[in-house]
Amino acid sequence: MKKTLLYIGAASAIALLAGCATTTKLIPPPKNSYGLSTYSSYNGDPIIIESTTPTVKYNSRIYYFQDESGMKKFNDEPQFYLTRYTFNELPKTISPLQSDYGLRTDCSYNGAPIVVGQFTPTLMYLQRIYYFAHKESKDLFTEDPMVYVAKYPANKVPTIISPLKSAYGTKTICAATGIPILVGPHTPTLEYVGRIFYFSNLVAMDAFKKDPQAYIEKNFNQD
């Protein structure tokens, strides 16, 4: 009797583990994502989403792949790939920054104009802040963040670049603090929405990367 119970217990444990192992769901890629650029959640290579792009949903987030082989490897060990590539992370709900109250910006889901307030739905993704008009739009962004980052230029994460050689010796202002600076070979620099921004130090640059739309609204970034 005791041996029988052990077998039953082992069989139940195996069945439970088997059920937990398959937590990804194969889905068709959303039609509104066709033609948008993203990255394979398996190897990080750039891809264009098409009707035949292998796609899965895992923990309320959509992931895209170049081929079925990469998708299968992701399905076998999703947690490994979630930590391997930062763009695979799940956006995190946070409170809006108090310093942004009254900020006129755009909803990161549909580009509609909004004013940031105490109850504005807010996400942190890839160390960047995103604001939304409604909780429903925040939830839709959470489900497929890379698509919405690709869809609206203002959603993109600022890219660290080398300062332009043609700008060496140019007097400008720090895009995060407004203080005067002289551009040189070691000046912290970002490219964002087709513009180049220079900074007085790395701390200022990191602050801008986190909340670029807020800094662009400051008077000294209007030119």
The pTM (predicted TM-score) of the whole model is: 0.85
The pair phi, psi for residue 135, each rounded to 5°, is -60, -35
Determine what percent of the chain falls in helix, strand and coil, rounding each to the nearest 5.
40, 20, 40
Residues in the chain: 223
Pairing of the two strands 92-94 and 55-58: unpaired
Q: What is the pLDDT of residue 218?
A: 82
Q: What is the pLDDT of residue 220?
A: 72
Q: What is the pLDDT of residue 4?
A: 41
Estimate to the nearest angstrom the gap between the alpha carbon of 12 and the chain centroid.
Answer: 39
Task: Residue 58: name the closest of 26, 85, 35 by CA.
Answer: 26
39, amino acid identity: Y
pLDDT (tens, 9 = 90+) of the chain, 223 residues, equals 444 443 333 333 333 333 444 478 999 999 999 999 999 999 999 999 999 999 999 998 999 999 999 999 999 999 999 999 999 999 999 999 999 999 999 999 999 999 999 999 999 999 999 999 999 999 999 999 999 999 999 999 999 999 999 999 999 999 999 999 999 999 999 999 999 999 999 999 999 999 999 999 887 776 5
Q: What is the pLDDT of residue 43?
A: 97
In the block, residue with structure tokens 């098409």: 50
Distance between CA atoms of residues 82 and 89, nearest Å: 6
Distance between CA atoms of residues 176 and 196, nearest Å: 13
